[in-house]
Structure 1
């Protein structure tokens, strides 16, 4: 939920996400196939709230959640609904961006979404007061670091690592993107890609979707239990 990258390479979308959370949060349920009224979806389930930070459907659409909007906010004690539930509502709507424009986000904590719909990527943001919708370029690469955990300077530093890594590689693959998400700045427990902030906040997992047309493959590494899961439709 806190570091997300988007790369289009070899006719495939590579979407990779590191989930940074309080260590006290229960371990997520590994990715499984769920049948909705209209389609099949794959997602790891948040055991606490029942939502998710990472979901794909059988048609190659995807939503990845980051906590926080463009800038860091002061959280309230309680909100109306979990952001992970909003993610599921959007993927189940069968019209993600259109539904985004009308969905009620009143009393929902700020967040950012990377959306892939109809092979078109978008960035959707909720500030707590206002929605923002940005269409992204397929031939560009993007990385996001959650504003709730990373200052603007650190976000830029991580973006620099990302660009440097990509420039050093002749070809980009799913495995290379997983390597970046698991092994960048390994000695920096505070701001590296895998964090451990005094055993309070940790990177709990790395999840990746490889989408080529309607072909979808999901890989999930549970870093706490040291288990790997792979699943496809």
Structure 2
């Protein structure tokens, strides 16, 4: 997951919480203290994206606090179905992706209604953008389809993890920097990238923080083998 954020809004410490069950891993926002991505030792991975196409006048609570709470209380992706409009009344609109070794779900909250979708495809992409939303999302989806079509019939998990980083998450099209996956705008840019890999025995979260993503931008050769960079955290099942 790429995190696009204001250049002036920096990220805080990475949280590796192992003092209670389940163990949890997630980066944090230095301003609000919450997160946009995380995983726990049960193999549950959560990603939250702002839904800019909608609004909620009652949304005064930080969406970033949702993932730490859910990682502490949920053991599987299917528990996302427990959420309804009453539970989300005080949050601005968002999309929440929940995935584990068994299934992947997407919850969309628009400030009024909750919609659930189970993803059964082997690969899918989801994005958000505060600027030219529909145009940017269509463009990024086309890039993802191009990447997907070029995949060989069979790839080892480590090769797939490397490929999606190198050939999708770290891609920036010249003259289209403002809508690229590795995004750059005057006021905002891709701040960091997170990738989770889940097996039957462990959950591994790799965090490419702001300094690492800056090196990817300035040292193009690092993109050839991105999985060897960043910070790696792991909890066992």
Q: Which TM-score tier does this pair reach, normalised by the shorter chain?
A: 0.7 to 0.9
Q: How does 1:6-45 map to 2 (within 5 A)?
A: 17-30=1-14, 32-35=15-18, 37-45=20-28
- Deviation, 1:20, is 0.3
Residue among 61, 64, 75 paired with 1:84: 64
Which secondary structure does the structure 2 equivalent of 1:216 belong to? strand
* Contact 2:47 2:97 survives alignment (8 Å): yes
Q: Which residue of 1 aligns with 2:145?
A: 163
Q: What is the TM-score of this pair, normalised by structure 1? A: 0.81
Runs of 4+ in 1 over 6 A off after TM superposition: none
Over 3 Å counting, the alpha-carbon distance change for 1:28 and 1:63 in structure 2 is same
Deviation string 1:65-122 (CA, Å, 9 cap, x unpaired) is 1111xx613576x842111111222222225324424762112110001101452100
Provide the rounded CA distance (Å) in 1 between the counterparts of 2:132 and 2:72: 31
Q: What is the TM-score of this pair, normalised by structure 2? A: 0.80
What residue ranges of structure 1 are gaps of 5+ in the alignment? 1-16
Provide the rounded CA distance (Å) in 2 between the counterparts of 1:114 and 1:57: 14
Q: Which residue of 2 aligns with 1:7?
A: none
Residue among 220, 229, 233 paired with 1:231: 233
Over 3 Å counting, the alpha-carbon distance change for 1:205 and 1:127 in structure 2 is same
* Contact 2:5 2:188 survives alignment (8 Å): yes
- Deviation, 1:201, is 0.9
Q: Give the structure with the higher percent helix.
A: 2
Provide the rounded CA distance (Å) in 2 between the counterparts of 1:150 and 1:39: 39
Deviation string 1:40-74 (CA, Å, 9 cap, x unpaired) is 01100112111110010101111101111xx6135
Two-structure CA RMSD over aligned residues (Å): 2.3
What residue ranges of structure 2 are gaps of 5+ in the alignment? 216-229
Over 3 Å counting, the alpha-carbon distance change for 1:217 and 1:37 in structure 2 is closer
Q: Give the structure with the higher percent strand.
A: 1
